[in-house]
Structures are given as C-alpha cells and as structure tokens.
Amino acid sequence: MHKLDDNRAWLLIVPVFALVAFNAIIPLMTVVNYSVQDIFGPGQRAFIGVEWFREMLRDPTIQAAFIRQMVFSGLVLAIQIPLGIAIALLLPRSGWKSSLAIILIAIPLLVPFNVVGTIWQVYARPEIGLLGRAINAVGFDYNYTASPVAAWVTLLLMDTWHWTPLVILLAFAGLCSIPQPYYQAARIDGASRYAIFRYIELPKLKGVMTIAVLLRFMDSFMIYTEPFVVTGGGPGSSTTFLSIRLVNMAVGQFDLGPAAAFSLMYFLVILLFSYVFYTILKMNSRA
C-alpha cells in the first residue's frame, strides 16, 4: 500500500512534464516542417525535401563560420580549463577566507549575457575604455572594431572573465572532496607538490572536469549575445560565429527554410560533439 502511495507522488509532476514536452515538441516540429519546404508567402509553400540541407552544407559562409566556431571553442577550453584548475589550487579550502573567495569569484556568473557584452564593449573601447587605453598606452595598436586579432582577443578575454569562475567552482568542489588521509600519506612519503597534484588531485578531478569541459564546450559553441553586442560579427566577418550567421539568415534575410535546416544541423553538431567529448572523457577517467 505504501508503495502505491509513493508511486502516486510521481503523478504530481506529470503536468510539468507534459508542459515541457509541449513547449519543446511544437517549436521543434515547426522547424522540421520549415526545413523541408520552400516558403514563398502566407499559404504559399512547396515541399523540396532535403534541398535546404544540401545547400547549407555547400554554403562557404557557413563553412567559414563553423571553422571559426571550432577554433574559438578550442581556445576557450585550452585557456579556461587549466586556468580554472590553477586558481582553484590556490584557494584556501576552509574558513572565512575560502567563503569570501568563492563569493567574489562567482560574481561574473551572475551578470546577464547582454550586460557582459555591454560592459566589455565599453571597457575595451580604444578611445574611452580602461582596457583599450591601457593597451594602446603600452605601445600596441589595439582597436577591436578594426582589427580581427584585437576582436578575437577581446572576445576570448571577455569569455574567460565570464566563465572561468564556473571551472574554478567545479575544480574547487572536486579538490574539497579529496579525503585528507591522501594528503597525509603523501606528506609522510615526502611527495613533492607536483607529485601530489599529478597522482592525487588530478585523478580525483577527472569527474568534475568532464562536466566542466562539456559545459564550456556547449556554451562556447552556442555563444551569441556577447560577440553580437561587442563586435556584431565583425570586423568584416572575422567573429561571425554559427549562431550569428543563423540569426542573420533567419531574422535579417528572413530565409525561414534555409534557417530551419541550418538550426537543425547546428543542433545535431552540438549533440554529436558533446557525445564524443563525453565518451572520450569518460574513457580517460576510467583509465
């Protein structure tokens, strides 16, 4: 009898599941419907099958945006994962200093995406921004609105400032979960600081770092608001990532059919890469 009562408790969340499923399935089916049709106007459309998908695969602007996206995500992981682990290792593990450090580090995560873009748009301006004026004062010709290199550096700095705290918090949680007897045994054996990190801390961090890599890859691969606010995809098309190209196609050009096909391909690519990353990292964590 108690078992039946416990099982009935799941009925309370059925409306929530139904609502979420409805909100997810209807837009998805609409996109699928648009992706296989050529839309001429209200009530005027023709079924064309997978033609839009073929066209998107051959589009050189999408191919270039995909390469830029992969490079950006690779740089984000290469910078933020080691940096987050390094900072987490320097944090105190207990006491009020630890709590204060965690609060201060987590502040960038509370800032909305569009506000982050606006902050860095002003902060990096070469005429009035503190960062832009400081870099130019050192002797570098820095202008993210005119130089693709400066635009990329600005976006990487902005993303690192915004999202490295997430990696730090995950790494810190993993470090705090390591039992103290491991450290005591290492000290008795006379292990160096590097040896402790290599043979005790790093293996214990593999689980949380798997989550960190997956989250940062998915977020960086879907980035839109920050580069759109800061550079608008420029200068030229140097920071036009897949998300910006998709929005330009759907909203700017109002090509709903190609945009629908593009969005489905975008979703499948993220799903595929996330699965590959997760599989590789899980295999390494078991090794």
Summarised one tens digit per residue, pLDDT across range 126-136 is: 888 898 899 99
What would the pLDDT profile of 143-157 be if each residue is shown by its tens digit? 998 999 999 999 999
Q: What per-residue confidence (pLDDT) applies to 78? A: 95
Task: Give the per-residue pLDDT at 139.
Answer: 86
Which of 220, 222, 221, 240 minimizes the C-alpha distance to 230?
Answer: 240
Q: Which residues contact 121 (CB under 8 A, 6 or more apart)?
A: 229, 230
What average pLDDT does the segment 88-106 reach? 91
Q: Is the pTM of this model over 0.85?
A: yes
Query: What pLDDT digit, counting tens, does each position of 55-84 carry?
Result: 999 999 999 999 999 999 999 999 999 999
Least Cα distance to 258 among 268, 248, 270, 271 occurs for 248
Does pLDDT of 97 surpass 60? Answer: yes
**Is residue 42 scored above 80 in pLDDT?**
no
Q: What is the DSSP letter of 110?
A: G
What CATH code is assigned to 61-286? 1.10.3720.10
- Average pLDDT of the chain is 88
At 1, the pLDDT band (50, 70, 90 cuts) reads very low
CB contact at 8 A, 232 and 52: no
Better-predicted residue by pLDDT, 36 or 253: 36
254: its two tokens: 């109002």
* Close Cβ partners of 154 (under 8 Å, ≥ 6 residues apart): 120, 124, 144, 230, 231
- Map residue 46 onto helix, strand or coil: strand
Domain boundaries, the chain: 14-47, 61-286
Which range of 16-30, 149-163, 196-210, 245-259 scores highest in mean pLDDT? It is 149-163
Strand 44-47 vs strand 37-41: parallel, antiparallel, or unpaired?
A: antiparallel
User: How high is the pLDDT of residue 48?
Assistant: 87
- Provide the pLDDT for residue 61: 92
User: So what's the pLDDT on residue 25?
Assistant: 82
Report the C-alpha gap between 49 and 51 in whole angstroms: 6
Q: How far apart are CA 31 and CA 261, in angstroms?
A: 8
Spacing of C-alpha 236 from chain mean position: 24
Report the C-alpha gap between 70 and 270 in whole angstroms.
11
Look at residue 167 in the predicted model and tell me its pLDDT.
95
